[in-house]
Structure formats: C-alpha cells, structure tokens
Structure 1
C-alpha cells in the first residue's frame, strides 16, 4: 500500500482509557453511584459502537436525558484526552514507512485536538494532510472524508488503505472503494465490517505496509 488513511482514536492514540474516565465522571455528575458504573461495559460499547452509542445506552439505563449526558461528556472529555499517548510502536511505524515512500493521511471524527496531540509527540511530520471534525466532512461510515483525500491528491484507490479500530472505519473504507484494515488490539470487535486484513499488533501493521 502506498497511501494510508488513519483513524485517530483507538488506532494511532489509545484515547479510550481517558474517554471511559470522562464518561464515568459524566455519570457521576448525574448522581450515578460508583458501584453502578461498569467501566468495562462503557469501554466495550464505545469500541464496538461509538460514544453516541454509549450515550444512548447508558442514558436509557439510568433514566437520563441524552442531550445533557452528551453535553457534559463533551465538556469533560477534551481535558482528560490530553493525557492520551500513542500506541507503542506507532512512531516507529510512521517513521519507517514514510522513509519507504508511504504517504500518511488522517481522517478522524475528533476535532483539532487530534492534530495537537500528534504534534505534541512530533508525529505530524509524517502526515501529508489531516482531515478532522473541524473540516465539516460527514462522519464515517460515510466515505466523504476518504473520497475528498482520494480525489484531491489523486490517490490510486487500489493502493490506498483505511486503518481503524471499529466497524465504521472499515465500512467507510469499503464504501470509498479502497482497502480496509482493522486494528483490533484487544480482540473485542465481533462484527467487523469485512476488512481486507485484521491486526492485533502495531508491528504487524508496519510489516504489512512495508511488504505491500
């Protein structure tokens, strides 16, 4: 693969621990007791679905208003996510594959904070272009963001891959007519959207990028 389009959360950076913490704090704000908060269930719901899925599910369970839960979570989460770190091996992967003339792009639902975190760890140097929520593209699995990159930079779709950690990333890649690879580092994804390849280790992604 010559061109790599990356998801951010759960793919480049392990943001989920901070997201789960933010969601737990959100529920606590609405007077949900600690013993009632199942952090493993929150995590699995986010990984297999989305934050929106978690908001719907746990608002229903605890009898809360979805809009209030979402707004409070969105207020708490950004500060906590600033503590997130890249997955081990990501920096080496980006560096080595860039030296091998692979082109890296970002397509994420997260706002400019994703770029700030990449910059904090000196990783923006490996990316040609980064598309975030602030660019106004439709959310995955809609392929609008991927199509924008492919068309603007004349990417060969047969030599382009979307790498993400959730079904919606895979579906976005498939919908755009490019390759799709799932990074399922914790073996949690059951319905995977039919990726071309499935990985549990960053090093295996690197090897595959250098081989293809």
Structure 2
C-alpha cells in the first residue's frame, strides 16, 4: 500500500478540480469531480465493506458542504459475492477478475455491450502499462527530488542562521573587549597603573 495514499487521493482530486478553470474564469464553471480508487489491498482492514464512498460531511449537523467532491474506494479483497445482482457488483467483478477473463468469450456476468467495451479499454491500458509505470516512476522521482531540494534549502537556512548568531556573539564579545581596553588605557594615562594591575590580576 502506498505510504501516503490518503494524501495522494486528495492531491489527485484537487488537481483535477483545480484544472477546470483558468485565470479569468469564475467558480461557476467548476463541475463535480468523482474520484474512484480501485485497491488491491484494503486501506481500512477493520471495515468489511468493499465500497467506501467519502464526501465533505458535517456529522453533528448532518450537513454536506459540497456535492462537488466524491472519493470512492473499492477494496477488492473485501468483495466476496458469488452472485452478480447489481451493476456495481458487475463492475467490481470486472475489476477483480478482469485480468483472468477471456475478452472473446467472457462469462455471462460480463457478456454485455458495456462490459465488452470496458474490457477492450482495460486491454489497451494493459498494453500501455509499461509506459504508465515509467511515467509514474518519473513523477515519483521528481516529487522526491523536490522534497530533497526543499530539505537541503531548509538545512542551509538553519546553518546560515547559526553562523549569523555566532558572528553576532563574536561581535558583541569584541565590543565588550574594546570597551574594556579603552577603560584600561584611560586608567594608565591617568597614572593609575596599580588599578590596572589589579584588574589584570583579577582577569
């Protein structure tokens, strides 16, 4: 399971939502974005449901902030149905067993125009899987590089601040020493060498 999958879900959804409008547009042009994540591993192990829909919802007052955001998780390991009764179950069956299905002779549950078209699309995705994985690895590498650059910049700033603080402390010490030397010189000029000797003795 991706270590930051929940954050990745929000990031992907927000990117799609944000890309709908450009400079000069208004918010009225924004359309709902429904994100569907098909998981081969369960993100929520303690939940038995296969399909988990998420929205922006205030539980106390039972209020939905906006219907523009929907994120649906399909935890395939949680689906154990032996009979296909609904269209949703048909799709889940396709996602879970599609790689083992013969497109030319699909099982009865998937032998519909819609499912055959979906399987053809999945086949094209499968053929391009290598290119997709290459793209994804490059994207991850870029994000990692940006993270490292940001961390290096942070360390550099902290180092510069430490050097600045050290320089300020040295400057203050030099100022104190200069003032002390000036006072000692004035004492000597006034013929008060005995006082100067006592000062150095104390130092």
TM-score by length of 2: 0.23
Structure number with greater Rg is 2
Which structure has more RCO (C-alpha within 8 Å, separation ≥ 6)? Answer: 1
Using structure 1 for the length normalisation, give the TM-score: 0.22
